[in-house]
Amino acid sequence: MVPKNKNVLVIDDQPDMCKIIQASLEELADWNVVTTTSGEEGLNFLKTFTFDVILLDVSMPHLDGISVYKGLRQNEKLKDIPVILITAKVSNKDYKRYRELDIAGVIPKPFNALQLAQQICQILGW
C-alpha cells in the first residue's frame, strides 16, 4: 500500500524524465511532485518548501547530484530529508561510492514508471 500525500522534489536536468516521474507519482500514488531541472533550482525550492523525499539525478551540468547531496547534508534544516538517486551510473564502483555517502537508495535508469512509487516506499520503509 502506497501512502498518500507525500511531497516529492525531483531534480533532474532532463525535462522529459521529470515529466515521466511527475506523472507516475501524481497519477499512481497521489503524491505532490515538484520538478526542477538543475541543482541550483532544486536548492532554491528547498528554501521555501518542505519535502518528504528528494529524487536526484547524479549527472547534471554545473552542479551535479553528488554536490547537491553534500550541500543538503551540510544544512541543518535539510540534512534529514531522504535522498534517492535516480541515475544511469550504477556500476559496482558507483554503488560503493553512494553507500559511503549514506544515500537512502538508488533507482537505476531506465526504471519502470508503474513501479516507481513502490520502489520509493520500499527504500524508505513507508
CATH number at residue 70: 3.40.50.2300
Q: What is the pLDDT of residues 21-80, one digit of tens each?
A: 999 999 999 999 999 999 999 999 898 999 999 999 999 888 899 999 999 999 999 999
Distances (CA, A) of 6 to 14, 41, 74: 23, 20, 24
2 in a domain, yes or no?
A: no
Instruction: Give the whole-angstrom CA distance, residue 41 versus residue 25.
Output: 20
**C-alpha torsion angle, residues 75, 80, 81, 86 (rounded to 10):** 90
How many independent structural domains does the chain possess? 1
Q: What is the pTM of this model?
A: 0.93
d(CA 63, CA 89): 16
- For cell 522534489, the residue is 9
In a domain, 1, yes or no: no
Q: What is the pLDDT of residue 1?
A: 72
For residue 54, give its domain range.
Answer: 7-124
pLDDT for the residue numbered 92: 81
Encode pLDDT of 100-117 as tens digits. Answer: 888 999 999 999 999 999
Residue 44 lies in a domain: yes
